Structure 1
């Protein structure tokens, strides 16, 4: 007769992660696309019609600026699922299981703080001071309308600024998933060498060309 096994089941490592919620800055992406188009237009024009060392200088400048502009505009993103928060910033990628997230702070920038006290800025979720001012004005109008009595049309409660609403969603997810088995682990930080390498190469080439000119 087989003896029943009362040990807890081993977690299935092959179980796929839950689907990511992806947060990015539409304004940053639009601005980055315009800047890259401008750099490409000026750079290609210099490569084709430039004289002497101009094409080489243009090439070095493009190698430097294209990944740099992309890093600060198109690259930043925040990925959140039931197990972890992954922050892709210009120079680093930070992975924080929810158990390691101590808080998500909003001030002049949005940040995640881990349990060791380290802070990581969320480049993809920039603070909108204009949005906050708009919400504050709506709150003032709502309070003034409530004080006049029921004879006046009530102003609806203001919707939080979009980035503040995103931070609120992330706080709720962190609170709900912090104790889950799949949310345990350690913080991982990886440097974005795929960005650093081309930027460094372009900078070195540009300095050499200028120094030997």
Structure 2
């Protein structure tokens, strides 16, 4: 039987030392983001941990991420960031990027992220191109994880027995009708929210009823 390569899925990311050190003081801080990788995206909370990044958005995208891939994180997915900054500069020239971030992000995260990128001084000192760069950084924060935490904290296993060899009604091997594979051993992985439990139970019932 063909068995597709297995690895940990729905799992937190670890970070390279420099970014890990920069973000480690924010451990425990969560904020809603939109994360994209491999043409997949999830708009759910991101959690900073002492090891790296977790939370529903990171767990979900980890099932599509491959080693070496870069994550694109929109920290303000509900905002038109560039337009916001242009309007704020016109209405309140003495306001800062930090003031803007504090409206939408947890205070600790907003302050640390602002310091990380060195956004200082009033907005009246920023050119249009400067604000465009700020907006791009906030809307497309590029993160290349060092890896994942692996099976120790993973919720599922990716890969497994190729479904093309199994009956979708009975879970029996097409060429060996008395041999069944169910649940996580099969190359089926669901999103968060109980889908993997449901798959385990449903595939088990299907096989049990047939056997």
- TM bracket, shorter-chain basis: under 0.3
Greater strand share, structure number: 2
Greater helix share, structure number: 1
Computing the radius of gyration over CA atoms, which structure comes out larger, 1 or 2?
1
TM normalised by structure 1 equals 0.24
